[in-house]
Amino acid sequence: MNINRPPLGWNSWNTFGGNISEDMILRSADVMVESGLKECGYEYIVIDDCWAMKERDKDGRLVADPVKFPHGMKYVADYIHSKGLKFGMYSCAGYWTCAGYPGSFEYEWIDAKTFAEWGVDFLKYDYCYHTPNVSAETLYRRMGLALANSGRDILFSACSWGSDYTRQWVKSTGAHMWRSTGDIVDSWASIKSLAQSQIVFQEYNGQGSFNDMDMLVVGMNGKGNVGVGGCTFEEYKLHFSLWALLSSPLMIGCDIRNMSDETKKILMNKEVLKINQDPACREPFFVLDRRLKINENRKPDEPFYSNLEKELPIIAKFLDNGDIAIGLFNFTESKAGWGSHFLVDTIGLPITSGKTLELTDLWSGEKIYPLNGVVKIYECDPHSCRLFRAKIIDLK
């Protein structure tokens, strides 16, 4: 099975944690369709941890909790499929899941078969309580192989948080996406630190296995399982823009049954989603700011040249049709800009080409043109960003 775009969907964990039920999942599937999310490309409904009984049955099979899921998982899968959506579930490479339910260690083949029989299309595979006696790569290869032989196409979502050098072996396991971060929570500090931790991983990103920056907190507004504090509209916009630009899978984490208009505006911005779903899936890259003093002694694994690059990064991605996605992010606590420091030349368009850029702001629709080869963007509010699709046009 081949996945050539970052998966889009919804996952129960961020809002509901262990407080999940058949009714909530089925209603969320309804809303996925009715709200227009499906039409925007979101397709997976994923049940995270805490869906199982604490004991396996006499044949060693996982059993869905009959109080939470009275009709069993096949029923849930059939319902989700009847809506034209796909069904995701969760297990773990260890003895137990992170919340203490049975894990798949030494049961990989039984569980893969069970998931296939239930009609599962996506498996998130966690890394808690794993044995020290088997390497991480072997644990993930076990499940990757079992899923590939389960008789059903099941997307394999590895969730070892980037630990044990995940990036170096994860593609070999058959994982279609891999968690390159620790767990997100619904706060600016979390968004900022996850975002800034991702720079060094971009060379591993792309078709075959997408870097998964964790589920979105957009629209949680401080409520739910990881709802600590919440974020402002601008912060959620930055979060969504950055996850989209870095080709992360976009798994919604809020309660989609109660989305505000602001939340919908973010999650359903089709132009931003196009940047995420661009067919070429090129590696995003950092554009050098002219203010930067290049640190020649930077070690290969050191993510940033300087604090400036860390706090006010300019990130670009070449798109399939020749356009360029460009994001400018203000992680600082004050208004900031890139007034005379972002040269078009630095993204690969020299003045000698006779060309320049037409930048369309994907949130406001505003069009911006560089002046003498310099993209002039002033006064970006703290914790906010500008995200553009840049078209190459003739220089008049």
Smallest distance from ligand GLA to CB 368, Å: 38
Closer to ligand GLA by Cβ: residue 49 or 255:
49
Question: What phi and psi values does residue 346 have, to the nearest 5 degrees?
Answer: -70, -15
All residues at 6 or more sequence positions from 113 whose CB lies less than 8 Å from its CB, including other chains = 146, 150, 151
CB of 145 to ligand GLA, least distance (A): 22
Contact 107, 140 (CB under 8 A): no
Q: Closest Cα to residue 84, out of 29, 155, 157?
A: 29
Distance between CA atoms of 162 and 170, rounded to whole angstroms? 9
Q: Is 320 a catalytic residue?
A: no
Q: Give 343's strand partners.
A: 374
CB 371 within 8 A of CB 362: no
Identified catalytic residue from 153, 183, 345, 361: 183
3-state helix, strand, coil in the chain (%, to 5): 30, 20, 50
Nearest approach in angstroms of CB 156 to ligand GLA is 15
Task: Give kind and range of the element (H or E) at residue 190.
Answer: helix 188-197
Alpha-carbon distance of 103 to 95, in angstroms, equals 5
- State the minimum distance, in angstroms, from the CB of residue 216 to ligand GLA: 12
Q: Catalytic annotation on 126?
A: yes
**Could you tell me the sign of the dihedral formed by the alpha carbons of 243, 246, 247, 249, in that order?**
negative
**Distance, CA of 147 to CA of 156 (rounded, Å):** 8
226/273 with CB nearer ligand GLA: 226
CB-based contacts of 165, cutoff 8 Å, min separation 6: none
Alpha carbons 202 and 284: distance in angstroms, whole number: 7
183 versus 271: smaller Cβ distance to ligand GLA: 183
Which lies closer to ligand GLA via its Cβ, residue 154 or residue 316? 154
Least Å from the CB of residue 97 to ligand GLA: 6
Smaller CB distance to ligand GLA: residue 183 or 358?
Answer: 183
E strand residue ranges, the chain: 8-11, 44-46, 86-92, 122-126, 155-158, 177-179, 210-212, 250-252, 285-286, 314-318, 324-329, 342-343, 355-361, 367-368, 374-375, 385-394
C-beta of 12: minimal distance to ligand GLA in Å?
A: 9
Q: How far is the CB of 213 from ligand GLA (least distance, A)?
A: 11
- Residue ranges in contact with ligand GLA by CB under 6 A: 13, 48-49, 97-99, 126, 159, 183
- Which residue number, 101 or 188, has a Cβ lying nearer to ligand GLA? 101
Q: Is the CB of residue 137 less than 8 Å from the CB of residue 173?
A: yes
Q: Which of 48, 111, 126, 278 is catalytic?
A: 126
Residues with a known catalytic role: 126, 183
